[in-house]
Structure 1
């Protein structure tokens, strides 16, 4: 493992630093927005702006890379993102924040595409699964660590925004100074939503709804905390719990995924998410109940994303997987744009605790639809399913396609080993 990481440590270090800066700015939006008196619906538009930019970046960055190259695109996007983060406290108006967040989202998506292309190029078929897992862990640790950094300053000043910008700026040094090969970026054209739905209705609908859940948690969690009167440290802890749960629950859910009907596991994970949100709603302002609700509601979100990817791959042929990956990332992005808007409007219409109501309702719809789909399609035998791989919702199409290819190869290798083993037993 040490030998494996020695070849990609600079990329992983850069990703941790980027996520520290990006994770800080996500929570800062909710903290500073509350100080400035922005309404929940205004901050919802600001949040959706990020995911609109992120979705656009995923589509256009590969074209930019093909025209001017990895290094130039990477450096340019990093510069624009750093400038956008510094500009946030200088232009404290909802419309300005929305435009800046579109810019930051576009840059962040492009950074993912570029970094993941390098990471994928540095991997072999044998090491790709471990490298991608290390990459996802680095991202999650960066987001969690960012919440701790928020306790070192005051969101009412520009200091924390400047710190986030500095972290993003210095994150490119280890990557650009160590990465020498320039990989070719080849992203398959996304499958149409119609074809994707025909191939996997549960995967398509589920990942759209999950995009709504993820964007609401990551973008509106700090807004919710600010509006119910949590302190800055408590809000940082609340957001950290959303991602800490994902870090700890990923492995057991992934282990189960390779051993049972994935639709049942999707139903169970979504039900756990809905129950957790109900607890958060009922508990009111009870701090530890809120933290527990955040841990489990956030904890099932990332595994559900990987589950939907794996389940969709089970329903498609190997040659359709790259296009399906692009379609799923696009569908997730659409849900991520819509989710915060619905949540922000509901929070303003009812009260801040409607944050849990919209999240819980979305989880419940996922669970009910999974239950319905069990009655419409036969179960795929476990031995014929693709391998599960930890994959974060923030990953670009590059990583999702690479993960899909690895999962298919891994599953095929396991089936060949089982066939060879059974053949040897028969001969003996």
Structure 2
């Protein structure tokens, strides 16, 4: 039964990644075709992450009161309704609002699944469980963009496919019994729980920020950087796809290593490795083959940052604090996703020879923080 539930949750997470992977390029392309300025397009896209940030504290209360399954159902219904509304009202203002609700809904779907998996997994196999979780989302996110071009066959087609996947995930989630997070031994309010985590294990939230920053800035800014430096769109897409594919391939082996040698130790190694890879990228900035090789290495090392960080946070927190910890982890990821393209846009004005060095700095700071931080005991 536990294995069956885990498989269902992985399928739901796959669908969550698929929805995000399809909608982000689809809506951005349609807005671009409509002739809107790039900054308007970017602002519209940001509403997805605003929805995630706004939803996080509300979902923590919701999951404690109603359980995991209703949280996932809420997310699926919100996402399906908002997606169905997109082709009905093709306007920038309406799409910004719908993106907010999609962000809220997808966050609920993702959050309910994430907390359920982290709460139910044994600590000795947590790295492997989070690796499967990360692989499922990444695979969905990688396949999602293949749905976007279907808009040229029929405008409604990609939206209806996404709604279909929402309904499929709704059917799946009703095949498992509802469960609730572990009850605290000593009752604390939301602010108290947040304070306990930030003081005792705040550094464990940094991998989520870093992964969100890296993913969003590479997707939003890197294509601009390569086009300005004479690289074709095909070459750019291949580099990003290589990063994603390698992150999927290596995620499970890294999860197993994390269970054997410690989540924090493996995180330290991959972040140090990522820092060196991006530092080396400055030396081959004009070489497509050189960048392809280094992007493969970067994806293999850094693609598991989110799931390894989540596993480490789950390892050091009491189970009763996991809903709050996952809430803060989601917020940290969303802040990284919003700030990545903004800061990355500034980096585009710097000399190309130091573009990748800025990524190395961010990763190096996080690696150093992990080497110098330890979780403090949290008693409830």
> TM-score, length-normalised on structure 1?
0.65
| 1:240 is the counterpart of 2:241 | yes
CA distance in 2, matches of 1:280, 1:29: 31
CA shift, 1:118, in A, is 8.1
* Residue pair 1:213, 1:301 contacting (<8 A) in 2 also: no
Written as runs of structure 1 = structure 2, the 5 A alignment for 1:211-250 is 211-221=212-222, 224=225, 233-250=234-251
Stretches of structure 2 lacking an aligned partner (at least 5 in a row)? 184-189
* Residue pair 1:44, 1:344 contacting (<8 A) in 2 also: no
CA distance in 2, matches of 1:207, 1:184: 26
| 1:183 is the counterpart of 2:178 | yes
* Residue pair 2:12, 2:113 contacting (<8 A) in 1 also: no
> TM-score, length-normalised on structure 2?
0.72
Q: Deviations over 1:280-324 (max 9, x none)?
A: 444335333333333333333342233333444555555555543
CA distance in 1, matches of 2:325, 2:248: 26
Greater C-alpha Rg: 1
CA shift, 1:42, in A, is 5.5
CA distance in 2, matches of 1:38, 1:351: 25
CA shift, 1:169, in A, is 0.8
Written as runs of structure 1 = structure 2, the 5 A alignment for 1:387-398 is none
Give the corresponding residue for 2:160: 166
CA shift, 1:109, in A, is 0.9
CA shift, 1:273, in A, is 1.6
- RMSD over equivalenced CA pairs, Å: 4.5
CA distance in 1, matches of 2:346, 2:218: 15
Distance change >3 Å, CA 321–CA 295, structure 1 → 2: same
* Residue pair 1:208, 1:335 contacting (<8 A) in 2 also: yes
* Residue pair 2:80, 2:166 contacting (<8 A) in 1 also: no
* Residue pair 1:203, 1:308 contacting (<8 A) in 2 also: yes
Distance change >3 Å, CA 103–CA 220, structure 1 → 2: farther
Distance change >3 Å, CA 187–CA 37, structure 1 → 2: farther
CA distance in 2, matches of 1:235, 1:69: 41
Stretches of structure 1 lacking an aligned partner (at least 5 in a row)? 381-428
Name the count of aligned residue pairs.
364
Distance change >3 Å, CA 112–CA 266, structure 1 → 2: closer
* Residue pair 2:134, 2:306 contacting (<8 A) in 1 also: no
For structure 1, which segment, 61-70 or 178-187, has the greater mean C-alpha deviation from structure 2 after superposition? 61-70
